[in-house]
């Protein structure tokens, strides 16, 4: 259980103790505290450390944030493979923002070895819509203007068959 002071502020000593002892929720909360500078000085490298601990244990939000952190190089050197790894882990559990982020990966062709792939982007954005990510529909609409009718049909067939 997390402890709050009389002013409603999280007692950082208690949070750090819980996180150090392996409490996954505390690890994530500590990561957020360092990431955003809440009740502690902002320290993005320390945030990554705690996101990793929680993410490796399966914490879904931590996995999503690792996707973003490694993609953007927040507190760590930008690393496309590491970002994609965490993004896929969270997307596998149907995290709406991770599904959207995968759509962005394929739409934007991040990394020097990855090219734009509208078909895959369409599929991931469609999955994001199903999972409740509001902005994903706008990306599908945009893709439908950029793709051929045959490509859109193929993407919809992939969705029907629930293929990767």
Summarised one tens digit per residue, pLDDT across range 34-54 is: 999 888 899 999 999 999 999
Among 24-38, 43-57, 76-90, 149-163, the least confident range: 149-163
Tokens of 113: 């070895």
Among 9-18, 69-78, 134-143, the least confident range: 9-18
The mean pLDDT value for 136-159 works out to 95
Q: Is the pLDDT of residue 1 over 50?
A: no
> If you classify domain 1-93 with CATH, what class do you get?
mainly alpha
Among 47-56, 74-83, 112-121, the least confident range: 112-121
Please report, for the chain, the start and end positions of each structural domain, with discontinuous segments joined by +.
1-93, 94-164
The mean pLDDT value for 28-37 works out to 93
């Amino acid at each position: 259980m997390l402890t709050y002071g009389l002013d409603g502020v999280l007692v950082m000593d208690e949070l750090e103790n819980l996180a150090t002892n392996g409490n996954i929720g505390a690890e994530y909360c500590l990561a957020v505290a360092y990431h955003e500078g809440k009740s502690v000085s902002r320290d993005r490298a320390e945030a990554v450390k705690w996101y990793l601990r929680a993410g490796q244990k399966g914490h879904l939000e931590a996995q999503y944030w690792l996707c973003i952190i490694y993609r953007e190089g927040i507190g760590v050197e930008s690393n496309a493979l590491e970002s994609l790894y965490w993004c896929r882990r969270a997307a596998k559990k149907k995290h709406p923002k991770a599904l959207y982020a995968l759509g962005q990966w394929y739409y934007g062709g991040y990394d020097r070895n990855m090219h734009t792939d509208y078909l895959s982007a369409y599929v991931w954005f469609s999955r994001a819509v199903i999972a409740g990510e509001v902005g994903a529909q706008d990306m599908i609409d945009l893709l439908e203007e950029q793709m051929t009718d045959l490509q859109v049909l193929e993407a919809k067939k992939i969705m029907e068959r629930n293929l990767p």
